[in-house]
A and B are shown apart, each in its own frame.
Chain A
Amino acid sequence: MSSALRLVGVSKAFDRGRDRVGVLQDVSLEVAAGQIAAVVGTRDQGKTTLIRVASGTLRVDQGSVFVDDREVTGMSDRQLTEVLARKIGIAARSGPEARLTVHDYVEMSLTAARDWSSRERRERVTRTLREFDLAGATGLMWSELSNWQRVLVEFAQAVIVRPRLLLIDDVLDGLGLDKKQTALELIEGFAEEIGCGVLMAVSDHAAAVRAGQVWHLADGKLRLMHKDSGIVDLHERREVRAAEN
């Protein structure tokens, strides 16, 4: 089974005043295609740093990062932009940096990949927003969306390119029980249907319960709390089901 993400001995430190603080220390993990891994930790323990390192947008001090079996650690900015556009989807709480409508924000992911004409892009975005039950929100701005709509928009823009790796940064926190369950089912659906590996950073333990691997991040170190013994490989399950039908 191919690997969607592999971190090998990754360390990252930041300057804080006169000190240099190690936020990630010799971190290694692997997420196979079609699998979900969750990293649980309280605030300021480096979860967002881990997500940024996994996306290649934050250079590491030490170690290697592989996305879809390609090392991104030493890539040029141009190569990295290419990988980001085609291989990686990122769902975060912050939303778009610029003032964009939902439609334009979701379309931006396709524009970056440069694989579609503007008509194809429009059609694809419209279809995706309909699938995510966001047809009525197409022209709305981020500030006009409910929390739940924001989660859906984040998912929509992250998976529209059908990435090999989906990174989710604390998007589920603060959702009610029902919405959280729905969000988790959606994430399982992405892993199953698209076959992407999912790495999600969560503060909420309920969100971690459905992941195949669960890690605890504290003091820059990862501690493995659980690893499924091969029973839930979502992509494989989809293939088995397809064969059965």
Chain B
Amino acid sequence: MAILGLLIERPDQTVAEVAEELKVRFARSRFDPATASHTLRRMAHGERTRPRVRRSYESPGSGRKLDRYRATLAGMDEFRSWMYARPTGVPALREALYGRIELCQLEDLPELIRIAREEASIATDFFSETKTRLSHHLERNRRKSKREEPGPKDYLQEVRNVLLHITPEYWSARSIHNEEIARHLERVAERAGVQFEAAP
């Protein structure tokens, strides 16, 4: 999706140019150097779907290095559906939100703000759920008799419980992280005069 976004943002790029943009702007994702070349070829071919990119310039001869690509209408539609996709159940990879931010235009801001808030809200629900589970666990432990010395079975149980302790912290951090993203985006939108739905 990053490649489609890059071609929509600046059409008629070569494989090398797209690869360089991926390397610089999506450094955190650590794309394989061959990703641009493979993906552009696959998207131009269109296998089971309509081609999402097409060659806008074909270089003469057998070398394809100077070929240039741009997104087709189908590619643009697909990119927009991804950009505006509502988070469901488990929030999408955080990188997906980062990718949207990297590729968004000012008119996409209201939708992006809403997505960041929804992701925050989902993360908050997960935090509350995992925290409740941890509270129940701690409460059960307190009621247990402490007279017996712990054995290997108890330690193994402790290993199993490590995630129980750590997960609420993760979701809490993620909820606040997404809230912060939404707030920053809102500030930009306000300054840019872009209308958006205020947080409840």
B78 interface hit (Cβ, 8 Å): no
**Interface contact A232-B139, CB-CB below 8 Å:** yes
Taken together as a complex, chains A and B put the C-alpha atoms of A232 and B180 apart, in Å, by: 30
Chain B residues close to A by CB (< 8 Å): 124, 127-128, 131-132, 134-136, 138-139, 165, 168-169, 172-173, 175-176, 179-180, 183
**Interface contact B134-A209, CB-CB below 8 Å:** yes
Given contacts A42-B180, A208-B172, A218-B179, contact A225 B127 (CB under 8 A): yes
Residues of A close to B175: CB separation below 8 A: 216, 225
Q: Quote the shortest CB–CB distance from B61 to chain A (angstroms).
A: 57
**Interface contact B139-A40, CB-CB below 8 Å:** no
Q: Quote the shortest CB–CB distance from B74 to chain A (angstroms).
A: 40
Q: How large is the interface on A (under 10, 10 to 19, 20 to 34, 35 or more residues)?
A: 10 to 19
Taken together as a complex, chains A and B put the C-alpha atoms of A232 and B138 apart, in Å, by: 10
A245 interface hit (Cβ, 8 Å): no
Given B131, B136, B173, B176, which contacts A226 in the complex, CB threshold below 8 Å?
Answer: B131
**Interface contact A219-B172, CB-CB below 8 Å:** no
**Interface contact A209-B132, CB-CB below 8 Å:** no
Q: Quote the shortest CB–CB distance from B143 to chain A (angstroms).
A: 9
Q: In the A-B complex, list the 7 residue pairs whose CB atoms are closest, starting with the nearest.
A: A226-B128, A205-B172, A205-B169, A205-B173, A209-B168, A206-B169, A225-B124
Given contacts A226-B131, A228-B132, A228-B135, contact A218 B172 (CB under 8 A): no
Residues of A close to B128: CB separation below 8 A: 225-226
Residues of A close to B135: CB separation below 8 A: 228, 231-232
A214 interface hit (Cβ, 8 Å): yes
Taken together as a complex, chains A and B put the C-alpha atoms of A219 and B176 apart, in Å, by: 12
Q: Quote the shortest CB–CB distance from B175 to chain A (angstroms).
A: 6
Q: Quote the shortest CB–CB distance from B99 to chain A (angstroms).
A: 24
Taken together as a complex, chains A and B put the C-alpha atoms of A157 and B132 apart, in Å, by: 32
Taken together as a complex, chains A and B put the C-alpha atoms of A229 and B190 apart, in Å, by: 38
**Interface contact B176-A216, CB-CB below 8 Å:** yes
Residues of B close to A40: CB separation below 8 A: 172, 176
**Interface contact B139-A218, CB-CB below 8 Å:** no
Taken together as a complex, chains A and B put the C-alpha atoms of A43 and B149 apart, in Å, by: 43
**Interface contact A229-B132, CB-CB below 8 Å:** yes
**Interface contact B131-A218, CB-CB below 8 Å:** no
Given contacts A209-B131, A216-B179, contact A225 B139 (CB under 8 A): no
Interface residues of A in 196-217 (CB under 8 A from B): 205-206, 208-210, 214, 216
A114 interface hit (Cβ, 8 Å): no
Q: Quote the shortest CB–CB distance from A215 to chain B (angstroms).
A: 11
Taken together as a complex, chains A and B put the C-alpha atoms of A34 and B132 apart, in Å, by: 18
Taken together as a complex, chains A and B put the C-alpha atoms of A223 and B183 apart, in Å, by: 13
Residues of B close to A218: CB separation below 8 A: 176, 179-180, 183
